[in-house]
């Protein structure tokens, strides 16, 4: 498999996005986010998405000239429209606004509407940690999971992410979708003709299935059963009712070229520890918990492994398949 | 089993709390919260707790004369100290502050430190829904669950609750702990000498167990495995680092009379939909999702069942065991 430096990978992605109609800022911000994912072992959200994004830019599902802008604002709260562009420039503006407002008002919540594929939340949250703030990030996505007791997919897989900076050491970074497993695992099992464990998916009739193809036509199950489905509902409500974004079931899947403008919603909550118990208390509390965690063999601090991968990738680059490499070269022109 | 009106139940609880040293406000607010739980079928957080609370008031684990007060404040953020009193007056002050601040700044986050047993989060959030605001409530509790990959209980069962008011109809109300099951289920199984399913608990060595007694000496498992444990970590960090409250493993269990002042932490996030996409959009989005949910047979709106129980209980009262009734009469003096 070809091994590329992160610069080479980012350059291919950026050129492909420019060629498909993204403006310079959208192309470079998006390329940075995709490389961030590949460097951290999150290939499903890395440059493999370039073909999808460029197809959506070409056929109008995303607008390459969209300029994210603030459409509502009051104290610590603000709403950003991504203008149906790719998500990354809008998320960058939202987080930057959220950090400024948390400095001024102690806490901020900035929503994003009319957006596209959210990507890796940790990328968006990184500047929050750098600013010494606590951050939470939420998003919906095209419907993949049913609500508790339901059969039809109504909710996205609705990731929850959080960053907690430390006085010394890299921030704690938690980032997870609320589905039991990623949809990609069903796609691989379906391709290989292999069964899936019960608990991953329901078929179109709402019956638990071990048939990957049936699961893809049905819905993914939430992590933690009914409780996880309830959490996904909370996320769905927060990122749509406050922002006006589309509900998961109103958006066409990202995995096809044709379809509507997905109009997805995101939300970023930022809190300044200085506005509550203060930074000294904050630092003491987080280090006390970290010390108790690392005292146990087998416990890894969240974000630690990804950061080590990123360090290695910055030196060694990352491997991608020949097929993906050729596709990127073709799209970059 | 004796059936008592909600008024009778509340009166017994209030008198018992007063007799154990709670001041008038703490006694009545706490009694209201316990009756709220009993009326909604949540007996584990109802008047059955009176014996525990009065024991803690008598032996100094809770201070009956504590006055909750604002100890830090900036814009939308504030911190309340419960002063080691029972949690309810401090939570009421926190939510009232959070609603006022969300009106002014669009979003607010009010933390509570030096608190006690959190009770049913929905009780705290009710005024948020009445104010037409969106609310989230978080808390930790004495350690019961291990972190992902760990064996020792470090984290509370760390409930997450949310309220979303509707333009017409009762608010959507989601309220869950992050453990797979409540610790009470292990207590019942241990008492009955029955095995528990795998996935509920680990023994003291961190090995999954079907032995309820071994589970009680070990740790509860999070809902959704490692993902649920990560969510519990996020909640634990939010309610301790921002507030200075005790971590779960620093607090003695509530289930014994002796022990330390638990110094638990809570946090309330309140958002004014009017500050983002506006109330018209908010109402349209929530009703669109509700319509899609109720279109499916078998889907129940969160909060609906509890509200129906509360309606019935306000007319018919609730049944409690003779043993509990006698205990309450004894404690009420």
Domains of chain B, by residue range, sit at 3-59+303-332, 69-179+222-275
Position B63 scores a pLDDT of 98
A136 min Cα distance to partner chain B (Å): 9
Arch. (CATH architecture) of A3-59+303-332: Orthogonal Bundle (1.10)
Say if residue B164's pLDDT is above 90. Answer: yes
**Where residue B171 falls among pLDDT bands split at 50, 70, 90?**
very high
Question: pLDDT digit string (tens) for B224-266?
Answer: 999 999 999 999 999 999 999 999 999 999 989 999 999 999 9
Integer Cα distance of A142 and A319 in angstroms: 29
Percentage of the residues of chain B whose pLDDT score is greater than 90: 92
Q: Please, are residues A75 and B75 in contact by the beta-carbon 8 Å criterion? A: yes
Report whether pLDDT(A183) > 90: no
Report the distance separating Cα A175 and Cα A134, nearest Å: 14
Nearest-Cα distance to chain A for B78, in Å, is 6
Handedness of CA A114, A115, A121, A122 (dihedral sign): negative
Q: Does residue A165 surpass a pLDDT of 90?
A: yes
pLDDT digits (tens, 9 = 90+) for A21-47: 999 999 999 999 999 999 999 999 999
| Rounded-to-integer distance, Cα B255 and Cα B253, Å | 5
Per-residue CA distances from B33 to B89, B176, B207, B270 (Å): 10, 17, 37, 20
In this prediction, residue A101 has a pLDDT band, given cuts at 50, 70 and 90, of very high
User: Does domain B69-179+222-275 correspond to CATH entry 3.30.1370.60?
Assistant: yes
Give contacts of A94 with chain B, Cβ < 8 Å. none
Would the pLDDT of B187 be above 90?
no
Residue A294's pLDDT is 96
Distance between CA A314 and CA A301 in Å, rounded? Answer: 21
How does residue B183 score in pLDDT terms, banded at 50, 70 and 90?
confident
Position A185 scores a pLDDT of 85
Return the CA Rg of chain B: 20
Q: Report the C-alpha gap between B239 and A159 in whole angstroms.
A: 21
The partner residues of A78 in beta bridges, in order of sequence, read A73, A110
Q: Look at A241 and B164 and tell me if their CB atoms are within 8 Å.
A: yes
Torsion sign, CA atoms A12, A16, A22, A24: positive
pLDDT at A291 over 90: yes
Residue A212 has pLDDT above 90, yes or no: yes
The reported pLDDT for the residue numbered B128 is 98
* Predicted interface score ipTM higher than 0.95: yes
Mean pLDDT of chain B: 96
Please tell me which residue, A311 or A1, carries the higher pLDDT value: A311
The average pLDDT across A162-184 equals 94
Strand order in the sheet with A77-81: A69-74, A77-81, A107-115, A264-271, A134-139, A160-164, A172-176
Query: Which residues in chain A touch residue B222, judged by CB atoms under 8 angstroms apart?
Result: 224
Cβ separation of B293 and A162 shorter than 8 Å?
A: no
C-alpha B110/C-alpha B269 separation (Å) is 7
Residue A191: what pLDDT? 86
Size of interface A-B (CB pairs under 8 A): 253
Predicted TM-score (pTM) above 0.80: yes
């Amino acid at each position: 498999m070809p091994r590329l430096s992160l610069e080479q990978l980012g350059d291919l992605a950026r050129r492909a996005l420019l060629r498909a109609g993204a403006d310079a800022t959208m192309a470079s911000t998006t390329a940075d986010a995709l490389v961030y994912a590949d460097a951290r072992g999150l290939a499903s959200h890395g440059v493999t998405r370039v073909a999808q994004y460029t197809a959506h830019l070409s056929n109008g599902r995303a607008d390459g000239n969209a300029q994210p802008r603030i459409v509502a604002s009051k104290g610590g709260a603000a709403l950003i429209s991504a203008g149906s562009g790719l998500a990354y420039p809008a998320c960058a503006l939202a987080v930057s606004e959220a950090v400024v407002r948390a400095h001024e008002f102690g806490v901020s919540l900035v929503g994003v509407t009319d957006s596209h594929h959210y990507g890796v939340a940790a990328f968006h949250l990184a500047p929050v940690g750098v600013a010494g703030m606590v951050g939470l990030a939420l998003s919906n996505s095209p419907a993949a999971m049913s609500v508790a007791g339901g059969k039809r997919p109504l909710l996205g897989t609705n990731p929850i992410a959080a960053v907690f900076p430390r006085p010394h050491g890299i921030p704690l970074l938690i980032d997870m979708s609320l589905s039991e497993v990623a949809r990609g695992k069903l796609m691989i099992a379906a391709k290989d003709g292999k069964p899936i464990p019960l608990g991953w998916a329901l078929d179109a009739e709402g019956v638990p299935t071990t048939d990957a193809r049936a699961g893809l036509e049905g819905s993914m199950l939430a992590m933690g059963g009914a409780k996880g489905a309830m959490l996904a509902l909370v996320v769905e409500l927060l990122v749509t009712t406050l922002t006006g974004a589309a509900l998961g079931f109103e958006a066409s899947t990202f995995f096809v070229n044709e379809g509507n403008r997905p109009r997805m919603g995101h939300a970023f909550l930022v809190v300044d520890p200085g506005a509550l118990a203060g930074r000294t208390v904050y630092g003491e509390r987080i280090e006390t918990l970290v010390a108790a965690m690392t005292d146990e063999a087998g416990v890894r601090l969240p974000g630690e492994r990804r950061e080590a991968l990123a360090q290695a990738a910055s030196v060694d680059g990352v491997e991608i398949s020949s097929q993906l490499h050729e596709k990127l070269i073709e799209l970059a022109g």
